[in-house]
Amino acid sequence: MKNILLIDDDLIYLKLTTHVLNKNSDNLFKVYIATSAQNGLDIIKEKNIDFIFLDINMPVTSGWEFLDLLSPKIKQNNWPTIFITSSTVDPNEKKKAKEHNLVHGFIEKPISNDTVLKFKQDFFKN
């Protein structure tokens, strides 16, 4: 079973996304949630996280700043696959996510059943 970490300051988004992921998980993954970048770093120290869905617009520490803090915390062979999540329509944010060397992709909020099904097809092939 793989571990997904959702990092977002929006509690409603976290609850809805956790529900959508769990509903479609088929026992392939377990979902952890963090309400701040620091909380996310703490969870990463304790759990072997395979995927991170990271909000970019958070108070105190943004998603981009989180990525800078994450680098020294992760062992080379345990690097999680990171997706930036945002409801932004700013093309510069999408471009930055695409060009960032630690980011695998950009997922628009809200995360839908179709998004989760595509995620499963891409990362949980039989």
Q: What is the pTM of this model?
A: 0.94
For residue 29, pLDDT over 90 is answered with yes
How many domains, the chain? 1
Cβ(10)–Cβ(55) under 8 Å?
yes
For residue 115, pLDDT over 80 is answered with yes
For residue 90, pLDDT over 90 is answered with no
pLDDT over 90, % of the chain:
80
Range list of β-strands (E), 48-98: 51-55, 81-86
* Domain that includes residue 57, residue range: 2-123
Q: CATH no. for residue 71?
A: 3.40.50.2300
Q: Which helix (H) or strand (E) holds 105?
A: strand 103-108
Cβ(73)–Cβ(102) under 8 Å?
no
